Structure 1
Amino acid sequence: MKRICVIGGSRYIGRLLVERLRDAGHHVTLVNRGSAAPPEGVTHLVADRDDEAALAAALGSRRFDVVVDQVCYTPVQAAVAARVFRDRTRRYVMTSTIEVYDPASAALPPVPPGVPVPEEQVAPADWTVGMDLPWHDEAYREAHYGEGKRQAEAVLTRQDGFPFATVRSAHVLGGGALEFTGRLAHHVTRVARGEAIAVHADARPTVFVHHEELAALLAWAATDTGFTGPLNACSDGLLDVRDVTAAVGERLGRKPVHRTVAAGEEAAPFSYDRHYAMSNARAKSLGFPFSRTADWLPGAVSEAVEAVEAQV
């Protein structure tokens, strides 16, 4: 049994992770701002992770085998965590994102088209950190989501208080109404109404992960392995936006309508004009077995359809 602290486990992946860890017999401490009731059987600490003094006070003298940070978005937050948990944990795992590889948000080394991007594409130890940028501004954080994650990884990689690992998640699907980004629901709504979906002329493929699979991988990362550094998390199989809308169309019995966007025009969710689909080879080499996106996508689409219909 491990003593595990989860920061920000109040919904979706975080809540699934907390429940998995609890059900496996681990002692789980959940830290969040108290916006939602925690699952039964876990210790709940209410604190704002941005308030260093309040976070340290809430933790008190507690010590953990591992911390899983679900809500670290900026280098400032990472620096607070590095200081607060320096003598409180033996290991730290941060949930990151495929968007750290997005060439539209940073100057990255080129990757041949169609070649899945390995973890080495973004090396946290070498990334420039700007602590004085306006990370406190919510609009700025949202507009620089990938950069915030890159810099957070960099800060935690360079600290010397605990071994650090970062899980770079693919686009998460599944869970119906729990999938709060609404990206799959966007496609369901437009296909159901016969409305055109804006796509790039040469939409590039990307990678996905089921929400339950990501929770399972995070639990595995926290308990069954001691890897450090970045790890890509994605199911097997590349899909582009037309593959996703085709799955929606099949479920609804309607043919999707697509509209090609002009250069610079915003496209629909999961339509990309640049390549940054990840490789999951490292996770597989460490022993994590991934599913195939094509196997679980129909079920995720059905959940999204049911959630959209329930709102009508």
Structure 2
Amino acid sequence: MKSALILGGTQFVGKRLVQLLIDEGVEVTVATRGLTPDAFGDQVSRLIINREDAESLEKAFKDKTWDVVFDQTCYSSQEALDTLNVLKGKVQKYIFTSSQAVYDFGTKHLEESFNPLGYKPVLKSRRDYIGYVGYQEAKRAAEAILFQNADFPVVAVRFPIIIGKDDYTNRLQFHVEHVKEGKQMFIDHPDFRYSFIDSGEAASFLLSMAKSDYQGPVNPGSEEDISLCELIELIEKQIGTEAIIGEDGDPAPYNLPGSWSVNTNLVESLGFRFTSLDRLLKNLILHYSKI
């Protein structure tokens, strides 16, 4: 891999991925709306695009080619189709940032729990997808568009919840701060279970997929899952303070409509190992408790 196009790349995992590629000596092009500044200076090339405007893609990508494209910002079936059409003949491999949300609510999903080749996508814009159910449909439809129409290898990386010290969503930090400061919070379904992955490991895995011969869907992440109740208990133990849980509290940001966790056997069979969830969470709880 000598050149890479990143759709996104200015926030969270995207920033980490860009730096990893630069460190590898890859010629990096970052394509965004141009609204979020980055710190990469002249180490990267930049293109201005609007994922909801196919003409902007055609203009930006005209007469250009890359070995790999990392798609971090696709949130609709229409965007997937437009990007696929514009990049036809311009890339050799497509790494799509998907989500465990493609699965129905439940735990320890295998990759075959959702087959994008058998899914019939409806073309919609990102504004047509509402809430978690909409997000689920958007990622399913985007995967279906890519796997059913691409003439190059596609990898759909079905990330679980991504956490790290650089997590701009502050969702895990919310839980830690509320316990530490004695603030009441509301957790609708404390027994629902979720999978997680470290943000640094997420970026490294994307890079590894670009280098590998693997194609298809894959579930990366820590092997274990955890319930929200267990998460709160872990925070309480680490901080030494009891959480205040009640209906009048601030709604916790992990109040999802159901459990979402993945089985990581496939990715482990490919030789990948991720930080244990207990270690990952303890390190982050300690970090957030000191802020």
Please, what TM-score do these two structures have when normalized by structure 1?
0.84
- 1:258 alignment partner in structure 2: 245
**Do residues 294 (structure 1) and 278 (structure 2) align?**
yes
CA deviation profile, 1:63-107 (whole Å, cap 9, x unmatched):
11110100111101100111011111011110011111133xxxx
* 2:156 is equivalent to residue 166 of structure 1: yes
SS in 2 for 1:137: helix
Counterpart position of 1:189: 177
CA apart distance, 1:202: 6.0
Alpha-carbon distance change, 273 to 64 in structure 1, aligned in 2, over 3 angstroms: closer
**Higher normalized strand content (fraction of residues):** 2
In structure 2, the partner of 1:48 is 50
Secondary structure, in 3 states, of the residue corresponding to 2:230? helix
Which stretch of structure 1 is more off in the superposition, 269-278 or 188-197? 269-278
Residues 165 and 229 in structure 1, CA contact (< 8 A), matched pair in contact too: yes
Shift of 1:273: 6.8
Offset at 1:153? Answer: 0.5
Q: Secondary structure at the match of 2:203?
A: helix
CA offset digits 1:91-139 (Å, max 9, x no partner): 1110011111133xxxxxxx7xx6x2101001011112111x4x34277
Does structure 1 residue 207 correspond to structure 2 residue 215?
no
Determine the C-alpha separation between the residues in 2 that align with 1:137 and 1:121: 27
Measured in 2, the distance between the counterparts of 1:160 and 1:222 equals 16
Q: Do the aligned partners of 2:158 and 2:220 also contact (CA within 8 Å) in 1?
A: yes
**Which position in structure 2 is the counterpart of 1:59?**
61
SS of match in other structure, 2:80: helix
The aligned residue for residue 247 of structure 1 is 234
Q: Summarize the Cα distance change of 1:143–1:276 in structure 2 as closer, same or farther, 3 Å threshold.
A: closer
Higher mean alpha-carbon deviation, 79-88 vs 143-152, is at 143-152
Q: CA RMSD in A?
A: 2.4
Q: After the TM superposition, which of the residue ranges 68-77 and 179-188 deviates more from structure 2?
A: 179-188
TM-score (norm 2): 0.90
Q: Percent identity at matched positions?
A: 26
Question: Is residue 238 of structure 1 aligned with residue 225 of structure 2?
Answer: yes
Aligned-pair CA distance for 1:50: 2.3
State whether residues 185 and 304 of structure 1, in contact with CA within 8 Å, keep that contact through their aligned partners in structure 2.
yes
Gap regions ≥5 residues in structure 2: none
* Distance across 2 between alignment mates of 1:60 and 1:207: 40
Contact 1:99 1:146 in 2 (8 A): yes
2:223 aligned counterpart, secondary structure: coil
Rounded to whole Å, the distance in 2 between the matches of 1:272 and 1:52 is 33
1:296 is displaced (CA, Å) by 1.8
2:190, 2:229 within 8 Å by CA — same for their partners in 1? no
Residue segments in structure 1 that go unaligned for 5+ positions in a row:
104-110
Please, which moves more after superposition, 239-248 or 16-25? 239-248
Partners of 2:54 and 2:218 in 1: how far apart? Answer: 28
Whether the aligned pair in 2 keeps the contact of 1:234 and 1:280 (CA below 8 Å) is: yes
Within the candidate set 106, 121, 135, 2:113 is matched to 121
Distance (Å, rounded) in 2 between the aligned partners of 1:213 and 1:159: 29
Deviations 1:39-58 (A, max 9, x none): 23111112212222221221
What is the match of residue 25 of structure 1?
25
Q: For 1:84-95, what aligned pairs fall within 5 Å after superposition?
A: 84-95=86-97
Aligned-pair CA distance for 1:222:
1.3
Q: Which amino acid aligns with 1:97?
A: S
Q: Which amino acid aligns with 1:288?
A: F
Relative distance call for 1:281 and 1:125 in structure 2 (3 A) is: same
For residues 131 and 146 of structure 2, the distance between their equivalents in structure 1, rounded to whole angstroms, comes to 18
Give secondary structure in 1 for the equivalent of 2:261: coil
Tell me the equivalent position of 2:122: 130
Q: What are the within-5 Å matches in structure 2 for residues 63-74 of structure 1?
A: 63-74=65-76
CA contact (8 A) 2:129 2:137 kept: no
Q: Distance in 2 between matches of 1:52 and 1:35?
A: 18
CA drift of 1:246 comes to: 2.6
